[in-house]
Amino acid sequence: MASLEAIPEELSRLMKYFPETPAEERPAFHSAAKDFLDRAAPKIVRQFSPMARVKWHLAASGRGEELAGLLHYERENPGAFSVKGLRRARIELPGIESSSLPSSVRNFNRSELPVRGKLLDLVWEDGKLVVKGYAYIPNVPSATGKRSLRVAVLRRQGSRSA
């Protein structure tokens, strides 16, 4: 994930304090955000975190009330957002209709949904390999019962096939 170093420092500061910005100064910020995104390479913007893509899109689109609400939410819940769908995973945020965002802003790429896991125990019991641990994708609701998928692949040492 690219850092937000591509964003001018003053513009970043204005974003951070946008909710406190007087209403008469907000249009200038929206205009500056739009100019920045128009000049930035789409590849750079696509490397922003999902939350940053949404914030900068809202800013550039002049959607100040939604942006202010999102910034308040982010202050109270750092890094918190929901993921909807796994085939076409997209960000879900309170107060923002995800369908109102372009797919390049709302959709995740695979690297943005990393699997976190930990092996707790690995032992042979009665000729069987017993693996204990867990894995999850942050911000994705956990599956239960029939929706839970468990897959294991064993390979011969030095082999590329199962």
Mean pLDDT, consecutive 10-residue stretches, the chain (162 aa), reads: 70 93 94 91 82 93 94 88 80 87 85 83 89 80 60 67 55
88 vs 34: CA distance, rounded Å? 27
60 vs 28: CA distance, rounded Å? 10
Q: Are 80 and 54 in contact (CB under 8 A)?
A: no
Confidence at residue 142, expressed as pLDDT on a 0 to 100 scale: 66
What contacts 115, CB < 8 A, 6 or more positions away?
135, 136, 137
Confidence at residue 3, expressed as pLDDT on a 0 to 100 scale: 52
| Assessment of whether the complete model's pTM goes beyond 0.85 | no
